[in-house]
Amino acid sequence: MIAALDPLVGVVLIVGVLTWVAVRRRYLIQPDGALVAGVVLVVLAAEMRRPYVPELLGVERTGVEELVKHVLLVAGCLCLATYVPALNRGRRVDYVRLAITVVVGVAVLVVCFWLNGPWEPIDLTLQAGGRWGMIPYWTVLYGSVVLAAARFVHACLRGRRYVPRRRRWGADTAIVGACLAVLWALLSALQVNSSWTLPAVTPEFDAALDLLVVFSTGLVVVGIGGHLAHGALERRANRTQLARFHGRLMELVPEARLAAPGTRVADYHRDVEISDVLSSLRRHSSRADRHSLRRVAPWSVSARRMLRVELAADRRMEDLVPGDPERWRWAANDRALAKAGRYLGSARYPQALERVLAPAPDLDPELGSDPDRSPPSDGGA
């Protein structure tokens, strides 16, 4: 069953990567090219292990396909090993240096393969006995796998605490796949070492290595793809909520709207307009709002933030400027603004807004908050 699913897994993974590139082409960043190239090359290398590849290509097995498989794997791993630190540190990928590294690594494989031939059309690890000149070959091959996996796992573990729990499943899945890739590299190195001292390796051991390749490749690609897809869906939802928030601000302060922008700068104009309106409204906010609104909308911090904006806009219309404006540190966070905009469509929000704009005695700043308890922190408001 695994053998039947193996080609399908490879096709699905490659199609998934290319689809992601097509859908996200407007939002791709400079290091993403290394990620796409690395994933595609690693998947192709995994597929080259299957016996149906020569049949599809219409050629006979000569042993060269083993070299091609390892060349694809080394190139893919070096791309992934370059992508991860560049993404984490916010740096650009030096594609010239990456190309030189790949060329050098591939050249070592080709030269060692040529000098230590001829080869039979079977797995090279089964022919490694007595070929000491292949040591650089195996070092580059398994070293690139371990390097890419180690960098990936380190980056995922280091950044895990900054990722919301609901989004950690993708990185955690990819970590498991990377660990399986390291296990494959170590077992393959053991297989090469044993071929120098033992007559043969059992077929079961070789089949286990094939399964490790399938599972590690699948888990890494699915984990990375799942993490990116989940993030893309969240960003799309945030853009929708942020657009709702922006629309409400334009209703409150219509004179802040800029000239109609082109599609390429629409997001930039929206951010400028939001920043201008919030800067203007913050002058009309009051620190007392933070605690008095807690009794109106106790269910959500984000809803109270939206109510503060509405209350400040109402004071602006009446030209009231309290002497103790809030800081509104949350106004610099797009995610916080999107969450505030989400409550514009809430069923409870209109009732809360009506109470705010027609204050009852419990909203009088002179009364303050409930004296029986001190109000908890409002999450950096």
Residue pLDDT, tens place only, 204-221: 777 777 788 778 877 877
Q: Is the dihedral of CA 362, 363, 369, 375 positive or negative?
A: positive
Picking from 182, 212, 241, the residue at the C-terminal end of a domain is: 241
pLDDT for residue 373: 35
Picking from 212, 241, 270, the residue at the C-terminal end of a domain is: 241
Question: For the stretch 249-278, what's the b/e string if a residue is b when 16 or more beta carbons lie within 10 angstroms of its beta carbon?
Answer: bbebbeebeeeeeeeeeeeebbeebbebbb
Please give the average pLDDT of every successive group of 10 residues along the chain, which has 381 residues.
Answer: 50 69 66 82 77 59 79 90 74 87 92 84 73 85 88 80 76 86 83 58 71 80 76 79 86 80 70 86 80 73 82 84 79 81 74 67 40 40 42
Q: Give the Cα separation of 324 and 134 in Å (integer).
A: 75
The domain total for the chain is: 2
pLDDT for residue 308: 84
Same domain? 209 vs 332 = no
Q: Give the Cα separation of 270 and 284 in Å (integer).
A: 22
Q: What is the pLDDT of residues 221-262, one digit of tens each?
A: 788 777 777 777 777 888 888 888 888 888 888 888 877 666
pLDDT for residue 57: 56
**Domain containing residue 340:** 262-363
Same domain? 283 vs 345 = yes
Same domain? 330 vs 218 = no
CATH of the domain at 110: 1.20.1070
Same domain? 218 vs 329 = no
Q: Is the residue at 159 inside a domain?
A: yes
Same domain? 226 vs 347 = no
Same domain? 233 vs 326 = no
Q: Give the Cα separation of 54 and 62 in Å (integer).
A: 10
The secondary structure of the chain, three-state, reads CHHHHHHHHHHHHHHHHHHHHHHCCCCCCCCHHHHHHHHHHHHHHHHCCCCHHHHHHCCCCCCHHHHHHHHHHHHHHHHHHHHHHHHHCCCCCCHHHHHHHHHHHHHHHHHHHHHCCCCCCCCHHHHCCCCHHHHHHHHHHHHHHHHHHHHHHHHHHHHHHHCCHHHHHHHHHHHHHHHHHHHHHHHHHHHHHHHHHCCCCCHHHHHHHHHHHHHHHHHHHHHHHHHHHHHHHHHHHHHHHHHHHHHHHHHHCHHHCCCCCCHHHHHHHHHHHHHHHHHHHHCCCCHHHHHHHHHCCCCCHHHHHHHHHHHHHHHHHCCCCCCCCCCCHHHHCHHHHHHHHHHHHCCCHHHHHHHHHCCCHHHCCCCCCCCCCCCCCCCCC
pLDDT for residue 20: 67
Q: Give the Cα separation of 47 and 250 in Å (integer).
A: 54
Token pair, residue 318, equals 């009446």
Q: Is the residue at 371 inside a domain?
A: no
Same domain? 45 vs 136 = yes
Same domain? 131 vs 266 = no
Same domain? 288 vs 336 = yes
Angstrom CA distances, 34 to 80, 94, 216, 244, 276, stand at 6, 10, 19, 35, 38
Q: Give the Cα separation of 272 and 277 in Å (integer).
A: 9
pLDDT for residue 85: 73
Same domain? 196 vs 288 = no
Q: Is the residue at 379 inside a domain?
A: no
Picking from 241, 275, 304, the residue at the C-terminal end of a domain is: 241
Same domain? 35 vs 121 = yes
Angstrom CA distances, 182 to 42, 111, 147, 225, 377, stand at 14, 25, 9, 20, 46
